[in-house]
Amino acid sequence: MKSNVSLLRRLGAIFYDTFLAFSLVFFVGMIAIAIFDDIGNAFLYMITLPTVYLYFALSWVKGRQTIGMKAWKFQVIQHNQKNITHSQAFIRFTLGLVSFSVFGLGFIYQLFNKDNLSWHDKLSNTLLVKN
């Protein structure tokens, strides 16, 4: 099955979700500060990645889309058109970070892939489709 979501649409959702994830991390951090009063920066860094991961993973597994994906009208599915699993979400999230961290090459790969898939789509056996 081929993805029908453009790189521009994908980047739009990422931009949108970045602000939402930052807000969520800020909120969780404020709760942690209120509960523990005197916490160090290391603890705040330690809660950032799991918080962001949970936002994406739960959104993908339960509802097929993050809020950014909903705004840009697409969703993530398996090739059999079912919801993705938690293990696929973990692979997708982890490799999405890798795709981004190597100067976005994992995303640019989508432009050259015959099925319009990025690295993390291909390796997690998921794809993006318009609603």
Residue 123 in this model has a pLDDT that exceeds 90: yes
Length of the chain: 131
Alpha carbon distance 61, 4 (integer Å): 20
Alpha carbon distance 46, 67 (integer Å): 24
The percentage of the chain sitting over the pLDDT mark of 90, rounded to a whole number, equals 85
Q: Which amino acid is at 33?
A: I
Task: Enter the pTM of the model.
Answer: 0.91
Q: Is 75 exposed, middle or buried (0-12, 13-18, 19+ CB in 10 A)?
A: buried
Residue-wise pLDDT for 81-111, tens only, equals 999 999 999 999 999 999 999 999 999 999 9
